[in-house]
Every structure is written in C-alpha cells, then in structure tokens.
Structure 1
Amino acid sequence: MSKNQEPLPEPDYQYKGEYQPQKEIKDSLGRICYPYLPSEDLKEAVNLAIALERPLLLEGEPGCGKTRLAAAVAYEFTQKYLQNQYWDYYIWNIKSTTRARDGLYKYDAIARLRDAQLMGTNPQQLQEFLGIVEIGDLKKRLQDKKNYREFGALGKALQEHKYRPILLIDEIDKADSDFANDLLLELEELRFEVPETGELYPTPQNKPIIFITSNREKPLPEPFLRRCLYFFVKFPQEDQLKKIIDKRFGELTKDKQKIVEQAMNSFYEIRAGLTIIPGSRPPGTSEFIEFLTALLNRNDVEKALDDLNNLSKKLPLLGTLLKTKQDQELYQKKQ
C-alpha cells in the first residue's frame, strides 16, 4: 500500500446494494456477476441473516434473481473492502444425485489403493514405466492420506478465512428428501470432520455467509427450515424491471426505448395470461433479459418492432420467453 493510499475499512458486513458493475463482469474463476437491484426488504433480510449468522433461504419463481444475489453481495464486499482481489465466494450447484458429503469433501480411496498396488510392483518394472521422479512423487503421495482428499464448496467455506466467505447452495430442492436433513449439523454448528484422514475442522472464527435457493420442487424438512431465515423474492414490478434494464443494458437502450417499452408490455401481457392457468410456466426475469437482448441486438429498430407486433408468429423469438409448446399455443390462441 502506498503512503498516500487510504487503508480499506474493516468489514461491517452490511449489504446496501450500492456497488454495481457497469455491465456483466467475470471474477478470477470466470463466474459472471451482473448488475443487481435488490429491494429494501431483501437487503434487510440479507443483513439480518449476516447478523444472526444463519443461512438465508431464498424462494421465488424461477428467473426472479435468487441465484444472482450471492454474487452481488460478493461483488459489493469486494469493492468496499478488498478491491485488488475477489471476495472468497463458493458455489455449490445441487443436482438430483448430489450427496451432502460431496459439498464437504471427497476422498478418493480407490486412487490410494491403486497407488499402493503400484508401489508393490517389481521396482525395476515400476521404474521402467514411471521413472524415478514419478516414483518419488508416488511415495510422497502415499505417505499422507490428505493427498487423496479434495474439499467441496461447503468444506472450503467452513475453514478459516481472513473475512467471512460467501457460500451459495443453489437449488437445494433438486436433491432427494434426505439431503437437507443431512446438512443440519454443518449448518447449525458450522463444523465438520474428515474421518478418512482424522481431520477436525471446528467452527471458524469468520463464519460463512450462506445463501440457499429453492424453487419448491420438493418441500424442505421442518428441522432444516428452523435453521434458516426465509425470504420470498417477489417478481419485480414494472418500475423495478425498468431500472434493471437500464443497469443491465446501459447505452444499448439508447434510441431504442420503443423496443424496450413494447417488449415490456408484451412480457407482462404474457405473464398475466399464464399466471392464472394451472400447469403453465410464466416467463421470469432471466427469460425477459434474453428476449430483450435478442431485440436490442438488431440494427433495424422497425424490424424489431414488427416482430413484437407479430410475436405469436415469431416462434424462435417467442421461444426465448415461453419454454413449452403448451404455453406457446395458449398465447397464440389469445392473439
């Protein structure tokens, strides 16, 4: 730090939504962060979860911005407290086959057994295939079981950090019904162990800030819910969506306000029509962003407006909003 440079403040871990990238940017791991405009209630929920050291469980319809929040908080803390490096931020994407232990660590016992078998091979024959250097590496690897252990996102977040790291557990409802219950100890006491290596990781001094998202594909168990703070992310109103557009697209909307206005009208019309129909899937913010991106990237404004006027016949464009044939046909019938 130079003599004239002011020292960065110690974190107070208050999220205010004040720091926004001018456009989408990537962190050191290639993960994208977009401008994010949280509501006052959502900011309060984030800060309450941080203060109480509890996970924040976010629900809401797909595309309402649940997943983007954690990256937005990491970006703001980076700008406020670090600037020259990215805030420690881990993502655990849940799949139907994900097990709770996968987020903590993986231990490759098969690889260790294979290495042990190799060391039992005739020395001359082993050197013929591997060489002296590789044999030396193999011996060193076998001497420490930790070489066969790899931490997952949760395991990394539960270790000591200079500041409180951020962890996103994304779409927890995709896993089986026992998955959330298998995380109760780790979420309650923020500690874990690795029996295969005998390692114990006690509760870190700087506890992780945890965000968990769910689309309610499966109900979550009561014991799990009791350990979380809950917030339902509402779909943005028109004025809020307009602010999101201005932040996201910037100069791209200049001289194309007619496209933006008509696209928003079409979007909300489609949403209103499908919301009342059971089994349909109204488009969310992410679908609208794709829809508007396709329109704004066209050089011919009049052609874009004509496509909007005939949207029911423009199936590729309509497909950015409506993802099933049934929803597309419902919209076409009303035109």
Structure 2
Amino acid sequence: MSADWLIFRGTGEPHDGIARLPAPPPWREFAGGPAGEFDRVDESSHGQRRNALATTYQADPGTVELVNTALYLRRPLLVTGEPGVGKSTLAYAVAHELRLGAVLRWPITSRSTLRDGLYRYDAIGRIEDASSAAAIGADLGRYLRLGALGTALAPYRIPRVLLIDEIDKSDFDFPNDLLNIFEEGDYEIPELARIADTTPEVWLAPADLGPKVLVKGGHVACRAFPLVIMTSNQEREFPSAFLRRCVRLDLPSPDHARLGAIVRAHLGDAQANASEDLIATFLDRRKTGEMATDQLLNAVYLVSRAAGENRGARQHLADLILRQLNSSD
C-alpha cells in the first residue's frame, strides 16, 4: 500500500503535513468557535528531556498507520503495552513531528474525575476575595482555569495533542464519563453559564502557557478534534462502548533489531555496536519477567561510561540496572 496517505510518518523530522489532513467524516465534524490561536511550534513546556525523547522515538509501521487512522477518523487512540515501551512518548513524537505545539498531559489516578480534566474552579479564593478590595472589578475568569482535556477541546484551528496517561488507574465509571465528551466535542462550565446573561464572554487561562481562551455563554466546543492518546498498562478491561469509540494500538515489546535501533537513536552507533551483550541479557531476562526499555538504555549508558572493555565490570554494572520489575530479588 502506498504511504502517500500518511500524515504522521514516524521520522522525527518536523513538517507541515497536518495541512494535508482531509476533512473529517460527516459524523465527526465539529464547528466550535470562535477559532482559537496558539503557537503550534512552541514546545517549550515539554522540557529538554521530552523534546529529546520525541526526536529519537522509534515508531514501527503498525504504530504509524494507527496514529494516522486516529487522525483521519478524529477518534481517540488507546495505546496499551508493558511499561517502558514508549506509550506516553508517542504523544510527544507526534506533536513534535506535526508541529502541533506542546502536549497537554493529564495523568490519571484513582481519584481523577471528568471535571478535573475540563476545568478547575477556585471557589475558596473567590470567597476570600469577596470581602477585599481584590473583588472590585474582578471577573469570574480569575478563579477558573481550563484543565488539559478542557484546553484540548478549545476551538483551535488545528488539533492539539492530549495525553491521558495511565487511564487504567481510574475508577470504574471514568471511561464511560469520557464517552459523551468524545462524541460531542463540547462541554459546559456551569459557573459561567449561570452568569451568561450579564457576562456572556469570559477569557480563561488554558492548562498550558498558551493564550487565553474565549468562552461564550459558558460553553466550549472544539473546532478541530484533538489527537487524544490514552495509555494503559493493561491492568484492567474497558467497557465495549468505550472501546468501540477508540482506535486501539497494542505496542509490542521491541525485538532485538528494534532494541538496537532504539539504543542507536538515543546513544549513537558506537554505543549500539558495543551493546550486543547487554541487549542479549535484557532479552533473556524479559523471557521470565517484566523489563522496561529504558532499563536497557540506562545500562548501556552506565556500562559505556564506567566499565570500558572489562567483561566482569560490564556484567556487574548491567546487573545493577537490568532487574526484573516484577521481582524483589
């Protein structure tokens, strides 16, 4: 099959391919407004580490195809796999290559709620200001801030990237709570809807460092549906109603060739060529226990800096790092 349809190519080289993304299916069209602005090449809030991971990410052909499927269909991408296979880093790699700006990250815990992702309201701060001079001329927007999900659904002209990290840590009802948001692409902020008659327009700060978002009538609706990447460590099952609204990607554990490519991308050819013994050790231990790819990278770096060609020292240092994650030994 021709690769001409691919918007995200997995090369790590930034480009403007997002402009070639076709119009969405009729059932996934959104017309929120007014259109928001943001500097889509601003990745400053990623930090140097995240940017480095994004540029060295090794996406296999299957991953590339499923990312593009999610882009075309405007559907969330549910990424499952063992810890350390690059589930979260995929979001940064896509945002970097397609110049979609800083990733909006929402880490999930057992206490996370839908409202946490949409917006935060500082009711206590407003009450404290009510009897002070600070309340004079103050608008409600001072006490509201959009969350990561709420910001992603703002009416930007091109899609933002939203990382919902470790969704399997959420409570039982959380995936179902997301369904309506994913289908409709909009939400209401009741605190603003109540004052819409007297204050129809309010500017709210987004979750990142971008420009404020104009909210009219307490209602936020997306224009370009965000690329939502949800990660799961396969610690639970999800409802079928939730799964059918997602594009599903199962990231396999990398084989010998891919591990070599990952080491090469992060540490260079010399390190990759000298790490065959460490890769073999890593793969051998992964047969009987849980291992993460970043353990191998740490081991290769440590051994190359501290052990040289001393075989005994190499093995000793590797043993310090390459321990099975599900073992207490």
Shorter chain as normaliser: what TM range? 0.7 to 0.9
Query: Structure 2 CA distance, aligned partners of 1:319 and 1:99?
Result: 39
The structure with more radius of gyration = 1
Aligned-residue Cα RMSD (Å) equals 2.3
**Distance (whole Å) between structure 1 residues aligned to residue 6 and residue 151 of structure 2:** 20
Q: Which residue of 2 aligns with 1:293?
A: 301
Number of the residue aligned with 2:252: 234
Counterpart of 2:238, as a letter, is L
Residue in 2 that maps onto 1:188: 183
The SS at the match of 1:302 is coil
User: TM-score, normalized by length of structure 2?
Assistant: 0.76
**Residues 89-110 of structure 1, C-alpha deviations (whole Å, 9 max, x = no match):** 2111112221111010011112
In the alignment, what sits opposite 2:327? 327
- Segments of 5+ residues of structure 2 without an aligned counterpart are 15-41, 194-216
Q: Confirm or deny: 8 A CA contact 1:170 1:214 kept in the other structure.
A: yes
1:269 aligns with 2:284: yes
Cα contact 1:50–1:209 (8 A) shared by 2: yes
Letter of the 1:302 counterpart: E
Q: Shift of the alpha carbon at 1:328?
A: 5.8
The aligned residue for residue 101 of structure 2 is 87
Residue in 1 that maps onto 2:87: 66
Q: Return the structure number with greater helix share.
A: 1
- Gaps of at least 5 residues in structure 1 are 1-11, 79-85, 120-134, 275-281, 330-335
Q: Is the 8 A contact 1:61 1:215 kept in 2?
A: yes
Matches of 2:73 and 2:225, distance apart in 1: 11
Following the alignment from structure 1 to structure 2, what is the Cα–Cα distance between the partners of residues 173 and 61? 13
Amino acid at match of 1:261: E
Q: 1:111 is matched with which residue: 109, 125, 135?
A: 125
Q: Is the contact between residue 55 and residue 210 of structure 1 (CA under 8 Å) also seen in structure 2?
A: yes
Q: 1:20 to 1:286 in 2, by over 3 A?
A: farther
Aligned amino acid, residue 96 of structure 1:
S
| Equivalent residues of 1:59, 1:213 under 8 A apart | yes
**Aligned AA (1:180):** P
Displacement of 1:290 in angstroms is 1.8
1:128 aligned partner: none
Where in structure 2 are the equivalents of 1:241-320 lying within 5 Å? 241-250=259-268, 253=271, 257-258=273-274, 260-274=275-289, 282-298=290-306, 300-303=307-310, 305-309=311-315, 311=316, 317-320=318-321
Query: Partners of 1:90 and 1:43 in 2: how far apart?
Result: 21
TM-score by length of 1: 0.74
After superposition, residues 77-156 of structure 1 pair within 5 angstroms as 77-78=98-99, 87-116=101-130, 118-119=131-132, 135=133, 137-141=134-138, 144-156=139-151
How far residue 223 of structure 1 moved from its aligned partner, in angstroms, is: 1.9
Between the aligned partners of 2:259 and 2:267, the Cα distance in structure 1 is: 12
- Cα 1:106–1:113, aligned 2, differ >3 Å: closer, same or farther? same
Stretches of 4+ aligned residues off by more than 4 angstroms: none
2: distance between equivalents of 1:187 and 1:68?
22
How far did 1:297 drift? Answer: 2.5
